[in-house]
Amino acid sequence: MKIKLIFLFFLSFIANNLFAQTQQNPFYSNGKIYVVVTVMSIIFTGIIIYLIKIDRRLKKTERELKANK
């Protein structure tokens, strides 16, 4: 549950910063801001998925250790 809250907070923070861009930004004026946003989204999604996988493996390992004791 905490991961979801952190994810939502971070995502809303990023969204607020992206919409606050002005026309003076060279990425925005050239239309490349969408490429930057897409790459950042892919990287962030990959990190979140990786962390969730690690968390599941850790929980499984902890359960196995408790069962073996």
pLDDT tens digit sequence for 23-69: 566 666 677 778 888 999 999 999 999 999 999 999 999 999 999 88
The predicted pLDDT at position 12 comes to 72
Q: Of residues 3 and 61, which shows the higher confidence score?
A: 61
C-alpha separations of 40 from 4, 35, 66 in Å: 18, 9, 39
Structural domain total, the chain = 1
pTM listed for this prediction:
0.55
The range of the structural domain enclosing residue 31 comes to 2-68
DSSP reduced 3-state for 31: coil
The predicted pLDDT at position 16 comes to 62
**Among the ranges given (4-8, 20-24, 53-57), the one the predictor scored with the smallest mean pLDDT:** 20-24
Distance CA 20, CA 51 (A): 29
